Structure 1
Amino acid sequence: MPRLLVGRLAACLVAIGLLGSASDRSKAGEPIEIFDAHLHYNWEPTPYYQPDEVLALLKRHHVTGILATSRPNKGTHVLMDAKADGLQIVPFIRPYRVRPDIQTWFKDPVIFDLVQDEFKRGYYRGIGEFHLTGSAADTEVAKKTVDFAVAHDLYLHAHADDEAVEILMRHNPRARIIWAHTGFGLSADRVAALLAKYPKLWGELSYRSGIVGNGGTLTPEWRGLFERFPDRFLLGSDTWVNERWAAYGEIMASYRAWLAQLPPAIAARIAHGNARALFTDAR
């Protein structure tokens, strides 16, 4: 059987199994498990928690998987060395050495060298999170990064507006993009249009306002999005500053509050099933 088909079959089986296990836990009164698809363990200037504290925090809040990045990438190296039972760590290459790289990485050829060197470690599954706005995505370095990701079966984690997302997809239609914050203030209709247009685009929901209205109730627009695209959304904490680490439990609790308003199968997909399906393959 071709490798791609094997990978897809494995992902489907994992997703099905996870939906069942989530249902079992729900009946037992345990909180639904979450895959945190936007976790930064920044090493610049210093980490907020030591590695053992990070692992304990994740376990305490029933987080069973993380998409791990760091500025610089040393923090990700540390997490990979500190693997814990029951935790899936999916490392991504961060194309930043220091915070000012956010503004210049897409036109700095040295950053592309960094990406290639980091990839040699052999365990990365993607590139990002990186920041792009509008035509900043239309540079040689950005295109080379997209093409490199496609050539090496990597995902891209893009903090981008809708114009930049469209440019990235135009660079290479085979690109697979996890859209950090799912466009921030874009309307649900615009998000739906992009998800429909690009089957290899997934929305990650950290910092995304408008999902709930007064009283914490899911808005009709976002409920409709989740019901129409149940396999296209991921959750994330975005621990980019210390305050996000300090509020980690509150962030996870806020997700569980509106997940509980969805049909259990859809809630399980968004909480962890979609991320498992993306990152479980025949490697």
Structure 2
Amino acid sequence: MRAFLPIAAIALLFAGPPATRADEPLEIFDAHMHYNQEPNPFYPLDKVLELYRTNRITGVLATSRPNKGTHQLMEAAAAGKAPGLWVVPFIRPYRVRPDIQTWFNDPSIFELIREEYKRGYYRGIGEFHLYGKSADTEWVKKAVDFAVERNLFLHCHCDEEALLILFRHNAKARIVWAHTGFSTDPKRVGKLLDEHKGALWGELSYRSGITTGDGKLTGEWRALFAKHSDRFLLGSDTWINERWFSYAAIFKSYRGWLAQLPPDQAKRIASGNAVAIFGPRRTE
């Protein structure tokens, strides 16, 4: 598959995950998953798909370095090799790991984005890394405008300064904030969500402080979820092999604190928000 999937296959991929039976564990959409390949993936594709099945992962936001890993997931889904799995593909603007440090000033990366988009199935650009004023470049603005013009999301691992610069580049940008800022406290996160309704969502991989040492939700995060349970996603961030080894443990920990929330909030964060955000692409 080089250019476009058959229309019927694309429709199936964008249809979203199946309904959950009452006797099944809470389904989760993995909104920060890398199937990196430099030069070969650590896990073969069939093992990755088995991890999804055994951990009740019914959808993934696929972002890989290089994008070959995402191509393989899309091909597997189109061929019926991943029943029940919904793949939401994002263009990653990296060919090799060092691109993380330079992509925002590299015109060849913008060409990579343009070429990958021609495949016809991408829903966003990212995950990419930006800190401070590294976001304030011509090529980042071009990427943001490219995304807005094509109804694509941005998946950004960034600090607050870079996040706000992305919105200044184009007020119509829609951003999934990887790790929800790391150092940004919950009250400030809540204010940013209030200020960017319909444009900003938080993804919670590696986000410390959600629970106390004994696994209980903190009061601040419980209050944030009560107000904004429709604005958060969960992810594994399998950026290194160790994250694949601990894949089951990562989602066990998520289910632990999700179980402390009202069921409607837990379902939204686990997978409902992904369906609401990345549902079938509208006619453009």
Question: Partners of 1:126 and 1:282 in 2: how far apart?
Answer: 11
Equivalent of 2:156, from 155, 158, 177? 158
The answer to whether the 8 A contact 1:188-1:222 is kept is yes
One-letter identity of the residue aligned with 2:190: A
The answer to whether the 8 A contact 1:52-1:82 is kept is no
| Offset from partner CA, 1:154-175 (integer Å, 9 cap, x none) | 0000000000000000110100
Counterpart residue number, 2:231: 232
More RCO (CA 8 Å, sep 6+): 1
Q: Secondary structure at the match of 1:250?
A: helix
One-letter identity of the residue aligned with 2:269: I
Equivalent of 2:73, from 79, 85, 88? 79
The answer to whether the 8 A contact 1:226-1:266 is kept is yes
The gaps in structure 2 that reach 5 residues or longer are 1-14
The answer to whether 1:102 aligns with 2:96 is no
Counterpart residue number, 2:138: 140
Structure with a larger share of its residues in helix: 1
The 1:282–1:187 alpha-carbon spacing in structure 2 relative to 1, beyond 3 Å, is: closer
- 1:189 to partner: Cα distance: 1.1
- 1:44 to partner: Cα distance: 1.1
One-letter identity of the residue aligned with 1:90: V
| Offset from partner CA, 1:20-63 (integer Å, 9 cap, x none) | x55x52xx2x3200000000000113211111111111001000
Question: Partners of 1:67 and 1:92 in 2: how far apart?
Answer: 7
Question: Partners of 2:50 and 2:93 in 1: how far apart?
Answer: 28
The gaps in structure 1 that reach 5 residues or longer are 1-13
Equivalent residues in 2 for 1:162-241, closer than 5 Å: 162-199=160-197, 200-241=199-240
Q: Secondary structure at the match of 1:238?
A: coil
The answer to whether 1:46 aligns with 2:44 is no
Misfit runs of 4+, over 3 Å: none
One-letter identity of the residue aligned with 2:192: L
Counterpart residue number, 2:52: 58
Q: Secondary structure at the match of 1:143?
A: helix
Q: Secondary structure at the match of 1:36?
A: strand
Counterpart residue number, 1:6: none
- 1:214 to partner: Cα distance: 2.6
Counterpart residue number, 2:61: 67
How many residues align? The count is 263
One-letter identity of the residue aligned with 1:52: D
One-letter identity of the residue aligned with 1:274: N
Question: Partners of 2:43 and 2:84 in 1: how far apart?
Answer: 20
TM-score (norm 2): 0.90
One-letter identity of the residue aligned with 1:169: F
Counterpart residue number, 1:3: none
One-letter identity of the residue aligned with 2:228: F
- 1:193 to partner: Cα distance: 1.2
Q: Secondary structure at the match of 1:64?
A: strand
One-letter identity of the residue aligned with 2:209: G
The answer to whether 1:32 aligns with 2:26 is yes
- 1:282 to partner: Cα distance: 4.7
Equivalent residues in 2 for 1:204-283, closer than 5 Å: 204-283=203-282
Equivalent residues in 2 for 1:124-135, closer than 5 Å: 124-135=122-133
One-letter identity of the residue aligned with 1:202: W
Q: Secondary structure at the match of 1:215?
A: coil
The root-mean-square deviation of aligned C-alpha atoms, in Å, is 1.5
| Offset from partner CA, 1:122-152 (integer Å, 9 cap, x none) | 0000000000000000000000000000000
Counterpart residue number, 2:10: none
- 1:281 to partner: Cα distance: 2.7
Counterpart residue number, 2:87: 89
Q: Secondary structure at the match of 1:269?
A: helix
| Offset from partner CA, 1:73-110 (integer Å, 9 cap, x none) | 11111111111111100000000000000000000000
TM-score (norm 1): 0.90
Question: Partners of 2:247 and 2:205 in 1: how far apart?
Answer: 12
Counterpart residue number, 1:7: none
